[in-house]
A = this chain, B = another copy of it.
Amino acid sequence: MATTDKASTRDRLLDAASELFYREGVSIGVEALCRTAGVSKRSMYQLFASKDEVLAASLARQLPEYETQLAPDSQGAGTPRERILHVFERLEKASSEPAYQGCPYLAALVELKNPQHPASTVARGAKDWMKGYFRTQAEDGGARDAELLARQLMLIFDGASARSGARVETLDGLTVATVTTLLDAAGVT
């Protein structure tokens, strides 16, 4: 019973952290976090050393879902080119949701400023995962320079997520068109 309660307190904290940090930014305070979670500060500090650790844990917990949402199944059908484009089709779809505020991992990196912050480490991991995914597909697709293509695709992904999340751009096919041009130029057919 005590174990279940602890798990539930942890889940409530991470749920609240995911929601608040995404919607309002990383500067949200411990008070607001605990109030939203319905958890006492004492309980929070029994589970986490600091608010920074809660933020890092909430980003880490979201990562498997983030990866599943963006990338096709690991054994998914399709060519490497299609598997790359799939990520951008998903991004464009996600960015059209009213609550979309951009990639939570890029936002964390931009907002925290500090590469040593535990949440920055998690966020870098998410970016490394995606770049690795692109690089693998680029290699499988015979890109002339797979590393260059992967880095280019990350520029597009992060530029598009930041701009659409900030409502200065409505993607509407923009990333798919841009990525198509880069895939063609890299020889990924």
Contact = CB atoms under 8 A, between A and B. Distances in A.
Interface stretch (A38-46, A59-67, A146-154): A146-154
A174 B131 CA distance: 15
Contact of A169 (B25, B110, B115, B154): B154
Contact of A168 (B23, B24, B127, B184): B127
Interface residues of A, number: 43
Interface string A151-181: 1101111111011011111000011011001
Nearest to A22: B113
Interface string A47-60: 00000000000000
Given A110-B102, A162-B106, A185-B185, A155 B168 contact: no
Instruction: Choose among A148, A154, A166 the residue with the greatest number of B CB atoms under 10 Å from its CB.
Output: A166
Given A24-B113, A152-B174, A181-B182, A162 B159 contact: yes
Q: How many copies does the complex hold?
A: 2
A110 B154 contact: no
A4 interface: no
Contacts of A112: 25
Which 4 residue pairs are nearest across A and B when measured between Cβ atoms?
A159-B159, A27-B27, A155-B159, A109-B166
11 contacts: A25-B27, A109-B162, A115-B166, A148-B177, A154-B159, A155-B156, A156-B156, A158-B159, A159-B159, A162-B162, A182-B182
Given A110-B166, A148-B177, A156-B159, 19 more contacts: A25-B26, A25-B27, A25-B112, A27-B27, A101-B113, A106-B162, A109-B162, A109-B166, A110-B110, A110-B111, A111-B111, A152-B174, A152-B177, A154-B159, A155-B169, A155-B174, A159-B160, A182-B182, A184-B185
